[in-house]
Structures are given as C-alpha cells and as structure tokens.
Amino acid sequence: MNLEPFFIVMVVAILFLMLCNLYRVVAGPTVIDRMLGVNVIGIKTTVLIVLIGIIDGRVEMFIDITLAYALLNFITTLAAARFYQRISQPAPSQPEESLVAPSAGPEVKEAKAPEMESDAGRKEIP
C-alpha cells in the first residue's frame, strides 16, 4: 500500500491550517495573541518537516532539523514571554542587595558610575 499520496494530502492540509493560523498573527488584538499564533505555527512546522522528510525518503536527515527547530521554537517563545512579562511590570527604583548576584556586583557599580559623572557634567555646564 503506497502511502505517499496520503502524506502529500496531509502536508497540504497542515499548510492550509497554518495559513488559517496566520490570521490570528496578523489581526491579533494584543502582542500576546500574536506570540501564541507564532508558537502554534512553529509546532505545526515540526510535524511538517517530518512529513516532508518521509516523502523525500531521507527521514534520518530531516529528523535532526526537526529537533533543532523544536528547541529553537520553544526557546524563542520563552524569551518573548519573559520579555513582555518584564516590560509590563514597573521597574524597581532601587535594586535590592539580595536581588543582585554576587558575581555581578562590580559591574553594577561600574554601570552606575558614568551616570553620576554625566549628571555632574550637566550641572557644571551652566
């Protein structure tokens, strides 16, 4: 029983569903809706790559691409989610001592120092 036409039909159907999902990415009312649509399209793409590999006859090569794509999709979604989570919260006025890692201590002080100098420079100009 030759299953290749069935796989081609499946690939076309998944592509059509991805196109329908693209509506939510384009017309989503908020940014988070667009992120959700992109995540769903990425998950569908992993299935799509495996099916294309089966049709092509070289699954063992396409499997590695699929694994990398799944990892990349997950990391991208997590990074975007954390970014918008941080952007929505008000920034703390003064970072507490306990929140700063011990290894990051000198860098924080160095980052603060130029601001002080620039403020002092502004005051001296007039």
Q: Single out the residue of 78, 100, 104, 111 in contact with other proteins (rule: CB under 8 A).
A: 78
Contact residues for 52 (Cβ-Cβ < 8 A; gap 6+): 11, 62
Q: Which stretch binds other proteins (CB under 8 A): 70-78, 90-98, 108-116, 117-125?
A: 70-78
Q: Is 55 in the site for other proteins (CB under 8 A)?
A: no
Within 10 angstroms of residue 37's Cβ, the number of other Cβ atoms is 19
Token readout for 50 is 């495996």
- Residue pair 81/38 in contact (Cβ under 8 Å)? The answer is no
Q: Which residues are near other proteins by CB under 8 A?
A: 1, 3, 6, 10, 13-14, 17, 20-21, 23-24, 29-33, 35-37, 39-40, 43-44, 46-47, 50-51, 54, 59-60, 63-64, 66-67, 70-71, 73-74, 77-78, 80-82, 84-85, 88-89
